[in-house]
Structure 1
Amino acid sequence: MRAFRVEDLNGTMGLAEIARPQPGPGEVLIALRACGVNFADLLLTEGRYQEKPPLPFTLGMEAAGVVEATGPDVSELVPGDRVGVFGRDGGLAEAGVFPADRCVKLPGSMSFETAAAFMIGYGTAHVALSHRARLQPGETLFVTGAAGGAGLTAVELGAAMGARVIASARGAEKLARAKASGAAEVIDSEAPDLRASLRSLGGVDVVYDTVGGPAFDEALRATRPEGRLIPVGFAGGGVPQIPANLLLVKNLTVLGVYWGGYMSFRPEVIRESFTELFALFEAGRIAPHISALLPLARVEEALDLVRSRKSTGKVVVTIG
């Protein structure tokens, strides 16, 4: 079968023919139909992600397809089930073996392409905003990198949760995309003095930061007393160094969110989150924006769209 393989961390990667895997205990074999592309995939290819699969490996963190076979000790899934899967790797292939506990059955109305764009972005945003930050209706949510795969889901979900959303992105086209997804106010990320802009809009209660660097620092200083800040990525800057004195005098809270980590210590958080998210999807209140659909033969082009930030929302690779 075909799979997009990372051979080393020096840029050697591409499509290869490999043996079709077989599921072991607690695993399922999935005939894959689509795979979402994430900024974290780029970090994996460079060895800069917090998890490092042994080389060589098949790239692809979130995918969707049909269960083809199950290993021993798997009872909750059967061949023919339509599922989404969220793993560290393995999604950019014609088939893959994954732990059964990392698979969720898809709503009947959700296509494979939609599912491949849904899992990580909405999963992270929902756990961050609902479970960690306890975002309330009427509060103001500020989202950086708001037109990307991570930020746009937070904009849409925050609006669905009743928050007033302020979105930051680069350029008129991306700002328009954020507006269309529910942002009440938008700020160009290249405009000067982000702190002054946020304060002129009344300040913020919750910051969902996908960018890091100066944007986080400016948002920190525009956060209201008892505000919450959620650093979820550092796509455009360095890792923020947070001055504890500001946290003290404004009674602020900084919340770490490593979504995948919940599978190791509180998997029920992710399961319950997906139940709520699928209900929102079926009610027509959320739906991922897919800006590019590319076949498996064009994975490198898909990765470049994410790397260059030319895409909005999600880039999805179709398989089969």
Structure 2
Amino acid sequence: MPKAVVCRELGPPEALRLEEIERKALKPGEVRVAIRAAGINFPDILMCAGEYQLKPELPFIPGVEAAGEVIEIGEGVTGVRCGDRVIVKLRFGAYAEEVVVAASQLTPAPPNFDDAEAATYLAGHGTAWHGLVERGGLKAGEVLLVHGAGGGVGLAAVELGKYLGATVIAAASSEEKLAVARQRGADHGILTSAEPFRDAVKRITDGRGADVVFDPVGGQVFEDSVRCINWGARLLVVGFTGGIGLARTNLILMKGASVIGVRAGEAVRRDPALGAQRIAALLDLAAQGVLRPNVSHRLPLAEWAPAMRLLIDRKAIGRVALLP
């Protein structure tokens, strides 16, 4: 029987359990995928704690993305063959040795990516694409400020922002993270422990400020971002790992700025055609070698708790993958 990490009670990563799970029979239109790697995302941690907007019924298996090999195909499935390397898109269920999903949940894995890279590509880079392209309308020549630039989504935004022709300012908590951000295309780096980032942005831009702010942190970071933006800036609210920020509406008005929510998954559920266009663009850029996740840690499935702690403790640089 396959094994999976199961959440039976809400709480920290240590409350989860590695268990044998029943092997599901395939229904028409479904496929069975042997998971070779699963990506860890902050929403997984929030979901297990009961603090995410999606609250699955207990018990559930966390994990929104994985990569693996198709090992069984159900009746009526076309365009997929056993042996295909695929990325699996889920709302939860990735921390497992195998998964049964609809064929529509599969995307071909980039052949130049290993399993861990494939498993950690679409969620982070898809969020960056949705934020910078579909919501933020980032243009060549604009200044992009990326918070949490050492994290998975932040590094994806750095890479994509550089590809789109922006001047990219990366803000991160360590020199090690900034070094990786520079390798991925950042033009400037701000060590947030050494200098208030809003002062650094004004210095770097000669007082002009950022045109687009990519913010997966929230809290005080969002509030201070409003003080270092250019006229007509777009503040992209991507997440709240640092808490919920309060908008200074007078400053937003004075700068003619927009505060824009970024929900890549929900946007696709409401507009599947948009999702297909996004995936096609991301797969093309992966094939060109333009975009690639930085997987700083790869741990076995049995070490899910230390792996999740790497995100909680801000020790990951880019992405973390579990290897069943």
1:305 correspondence with 2:310: yes
Aligned residue identity for 2:164:
M
Greater CA drift, 139-148 or 290-299 = 290-299
State the 1:192 CA deviation: 4.1
Match of 2:6 in 1: 5
SS in 2 for 1:115: helix
> What's the C-alpha RMSD, in Å, of the aligned pairs?
1.6
State the 1:105 CA deviation: 1.4
Match of 1:249 in 2: 254
1:292 correspondence with 2:297: yes
State the 1:25 CA deviation: 4.5
Q: Distance in 1 between matches of 2:11 and 2:320?
A: 24
Match of 2:219 in 1: 213
Contact 1:127 1:270 in 2 (8 A): no
Quote the sequence identity (%). Answer: 40
Aligned residue identity for 1:209:
D
Match of 1:124 in 2: 127
State the 1:184 CA deviation: 0.6
SS in 2 for 1:255: strand
Runs of 4+ in structure 1 deviating by more than 4 angstroms, as ranges, are: none
Aligned residue identity for 2:239:
G
Instruction: Write out per-residue CA displacement over residues 203-222 of structure 1, whole angstroms, 9 at most, x where no aligned residue.
Output: 11000001111111111121
SS in 2 for 1:98: strand
Aligned residue identity for 2:282:
L
Q: Distance in 2 between matches of 1:212 and 1:232?
A: 8
Match of 1:227 in 2: 233
Aligned residue identity for 1:23:
L
Aligned residue identity for 1:108:
P
SS in 1 for 2:72: strand
Q: Distance in 2 between matches of 1:153 and 1:40?
A: 17
1:94-243 residue pairs with structure 2 within 5 A?
Answer: 94-202=97-205, 203-236=209-242, 238-243=243-248
Contact 2:222 2:246 in 1 (8 A): no
1:64 aligned residue (60, 67, 75): 67
TM-score, normalisation: structure 1: 0.94
Match of 1:21 in 2: 24
Contact 1:63 1:115 in 2 (8 A): yes
Greater CA drift, 238-247 or 70-79 = 70-79
Match of 2:276 in 1: 271
SS in 1 for 2:261: coil
TM-score, normalisation: structure 2: 0.93
